[in-house]
Structure 1
Amino acid sequence: MTIKRWSRDEMAAKVARDIPAGSYVNLGIGMPTLVGNHLSAEREVILHSENGLLGMGPPAAPGDEDPDLINASRVPVTLLPGGAYFHHADSFAMIRGGHLDICVLGAFQVSVAGDLANWHTGAADAIPAVGGAMDLAAGANRVLVMMEHLTKAGESKIVERLSYPVTALACVDVIYTDLAVVDVTPHGLAVREIVEGLAFDELVRMTGVPLSDEGRRAVERWKGVGLKADPQGRASACR
């Protein structure tokens, strides 16, 4: 069977699915910004942007852009009722004070211990850009990472040890790639979901680090007895 990798939008939808209602969430630059397109209007999630926005809405419609109302990617956005914008020093005080429930970040590498590298490859011609990533990785209560599973050279971005400069240590909770959803646990990496057509053993070979299939098999068992799993892997009765 041909492996059809998840698109970036499909990955973003999986992240959005796992964000609980009422969460205060920062969406990082790049791929994570797509998550906002998949958040249900019926399930309130308050979006934060590190340049000083809380209650951020969707991108502004053409012609309605306000140059003073942009996100951290410099994209003109809207402000939802009850939202506010403020000095970025206050914004970083929110981040560093632990007031964000979740941040979604891109990454160059994530280690089996949940260490994150996402600001510099170390290449001589690369321009390092840490932005607010260190603050978010250290300050948010949960860190979700979106990235492609392999580099253009076919090397795994999930590694035993980081080879790129560190953003933060032991901070990542869940990794969403175009091949799998992987939980970072105290006992190692547990695969929760695999793209259709890819065998678990092949995923392990491509990843190059130990992976547990228990999380995925547990979800299948729960489905079989009328139970469902929450994002933390617990079972709850379907109602």
Structure 2
Amino acid sequence: MRKITIAIDGYSSTGKSTVAKRLAKALGYVYVDTGAMYRAVTLFALRNGYVGGAEDNFDALVASLSEIDLRFRPNAETGQSDIYLNGENVEREIRTLEVSKYVSQVATLEAVRHKLVEMQQKMGAEKGLVMDGRDIGTVVFPDAELKIFMTASPETRAQRRFDELRQRGEQVTFDEVLKNVRQRDHIDSTRKVSPLQKAEEAIEFDNSNLGLEEQFEAIHNYALDVISGQDKKKDAR
């Protein structure tokens, strides 16, 4: 059976990573969470005072990019892969609201995107890969055989994110999370370098009213259709 590249793009908190991980496992493919890569760079920037202080110093961050090493390593307990920043497992720390506040700003930097896109393209050189992010189908893998663009209402996404953060013990309010979701949407969609946009041939997948099982089954079927040569491009609304 031939191997393909699957690109899953979309807005924050649409469940891209959750579906992508499960899809990769079902197909026996490699999964790459590009959002985790940008979050790890943002964590690096926060730790070094390049963002989050009285004044952002993006020039210093760009000058320090050569100091950043990102690796995905399997987690025996979860059966998934965690991201390591310079040898340290930061999978949990990158998911905080503090990192979420700055990740879209860091992701607008051309030098950051160039560095990570280059890394991502190397990861997918041999196909058999599921990658999710903001510009996978438009920039990283414009020739991907299957492209999905996931969306949901801001309120639905904020509720999902709020529940996730509270389960992790973070003291946040729903209004804080909703504000962050809307801010990230604006920054992601209006940045000059690789803005978030639906690739022309991508399947639009609105999961506002879908459970995890329904989402997975639909996208899994799309993938099987493409792999078998029975591609059925349509929007899921």
> TM-score, with normalisation over the residues of structure 1?
0.31
Structure having the higher Rg: 1
> TM-score, with normalisation over the residues of structure 2?
0.31
Identify the structure with the greater helix proportion. Answer: 2
Of structures 1 and 2, the one with the larger relative CO (CA 8 A, separation 6+) is: 2
